Amino acid sequence: MKFADSAFNPMIKTNLAAAGFSRPTDIQFKAIPPVLRGEDVLAIAQTGTGKTAAFVIPVLEKLLKNKRKAEGIRCMVMVPTRELSRQITSVFNTLGKGTGIKTLGLHGGVEQDPQISRLEKGVDVAVATPGRLFDLISQGYVDVSQLEILILDEADHMLDLGFIHDIRQLVKKLPGNRQTLFFSATINAEIKKLAYSLVRNPIRIQISPKDPVSKNVDHSVAFIEMDDKRFFLERLIKEHPESKILVFVRTKVRAERVNKALERVGIESRVMHGDVEQKERFSTLQQFSDGKFMILIATDVSARGIDIPNVEYVINYDLPEKAENYVHRIGRTGRGNHRGLAISFCSQEEKPLLVAIEEFMDKKIQQLQISKTEYETIIETATEGPSDWKQLIMNAEKEEEKYLKKKKKK
């Protein structure tokens, strides 16, 4: 089926074509019909498979077909992060252009007054993070009494952030006859319990349950010692100067450390982590998306649901401490119909993390074979020599100790 041949509103079909949507992905093909029928849906699919459009398209169609004069938000999308709020708001605005459907992102990190002003003028769809949403509800600025559709996206991450109690409190304020849609890339017992407490006789959709990694992503692991990772990252970047590369590290301090190390060898990069001001984070993501720079070093704050076009490589400079975050990280490449590559650097001390990741996926990750000669050559030919680098490591570790002490005092 092609979107052009569907019975969707002509304006939606025009916007889909302009945005490059020609045929539905598997999750869209399976989720759109029951959403249009008004059924509750519990959808599990790998990241990068088009989950956002799977609910945005039918929701826009439903809101256009069932216009009403009553005031109040008609659809609420709850998301775990500010970046995801902005992204989904953008998809609603892009696919809903010219339809009159008004969408507003509600998230922290920015002043609330402009958001309140927009709410007072009338909003059909709100894409909200729990913190800002509950603040505005408690202040009386958000009316959910007329809500028709509730969508929870990346709900597993919201549970990780401790929002389950707030979500349950919100549900008590919503109309009982609402439609509830539940989308996530991973599912576990706790997620199931929450999902089935919110939905009624849901249609369950699960795409590729045996492999949580998108089929468009070729992923592998290379065994590289912690002190040597820098040299291999430099080599990879210099071998692919035109490629957009997303590098994941474990902590904010390590993000800054790797950024400075790349700067010293003449490679431009930016960082993305929790200590970066929200306005700068949005600007950084936009510039990376636009190709203004090619290397972004990030903590897991960027791994959830963010759709950055044309990321050719994801590098797990550090393996994630939570196994499921591996799936979300490497899902930043190979999105839609594009293929992507993901390479993880695993040191001796990180091998237990690798075991946990493979157990989570129920399969082994392909190993990149690096000969001893090749390994030594990469280190010896690096711009900064091993002795220089080890001294920098020692200095950086001292800086990290100071940072942690300062953080404890706060």
Per-residue tokens: 351 = 């091998």
Q: Bigger pLDDT: 211 or 271? A: 271
Contacts of 398 (CB under 8 A, 6+ apart): none
Q: Bigger pLDDT: 276 or 62? A: 62
Segment among 69-83, 89-103, 186-200, 240-254 with least mean pLDDT: 186-200
Q: What is the rounded CA–CA span in Å between residue 388 and residue 265?
A: 12
What's the confidence (pLDDT) of residue 325?
Answer: 86
- The beta strand positions in 292-365, using DSSP E, are 295-298, 313-316, 340-346
In this model, does residue 397 exceed pLDDT 70? no
What's the confidence (pLDDT) of residue 47?
Answer: 67
Nearest CA to 55 out of 203, 165, 267, 227 is that of 203
Quick: pLDDT tens for 219-268. 999 999 999 999 999 999 999 999 999 999 999 999 999 999 999 999 99
**Domains of the chain with CATH codes:** 3-206 (3.40.50.300), 217-409 (3.40.50.300)
In this model, does residue 15 exceed pLDDT 90? yes
Nearest CA to 240 out of 318, 343, 327, 326 is that of 343
Query: What DSSP line would sit under 239-279, residue for residue?
Result: H-TTS-EEEE-SSHHHHHHHHHHHHHTT---EEESTTS-HH
What's the confidence (pLDDT) of residue 350?
Answer: 96
What's the confidence (pLDDT) of residue 73?
Answer: 92
Per-residue tokens: 91 = 């998809």
Per-residue tokens: 244 = 């957009």
Contacts of 340 (CB under 8 A, 6+ apart): 216, 217, 218, 311, 312, 313, 314, 330, 332, 333, 334
Show contacts of 1-4: CB within 8 Å, 24+ apart: 1/29
What's the confidence (pLDDT) of residue 90?
Answer: 93
Q: What is the mean pLDDT of residues 110-136?
A: 92
Per-residue tokens: 116 = 């309140």
**Which CA distances in Å does 13 have to 4, 9, 96, 339?**
6, 6, 10, 26
Strand 366-367 versus strand 41-44 pairing type:
unpaired
Q: How many CB atoms lie within 10 A of CB 221?
A: 21
The b/e string for 54-72 (b: 16+ C-beta within 10 A; e otherwise) is: bbbbbbbbbbbeeeeeeee
Quick: pLDDT tens for 344-363. 999 999 999 999 999 988 88
What's the confidence (pLDDT) of residue 67?
Answer: 78
Confidence of residue 191 (pLDDT cuts 50, 70, 90): confident
Task: Let me know: does 330 contact 316? Beta carbons within 8 Å.
Answer: yes
Nearest CA to 343 out of 236, 199, 193 is that of 236
The residue with tokens 């009316």 is: 143
Q: What is the pTM of this model?
A: 0.70
What's the confidence (pLDDT) of residue 179?
Answer: 94
Per-residue tokens: 287 = 């510039």
Percentage of the chain modeled with pLDDT above 90: 49
Confidence of residue 70 (pLDDT cuts 50, 70, 90): low
Confidence of residue 76 (pLDDT cuts 50, 70, 90): very high
Task: Let me know: does 245 contact 395? Beta carbons within 8 Å.
Answer: no
Confidence of residue 313 (pLDDT cuts 50, 70, 90): very high
Of 214-228, 267-281, 301-315, give the range with the top mean pLDDT. 214-228
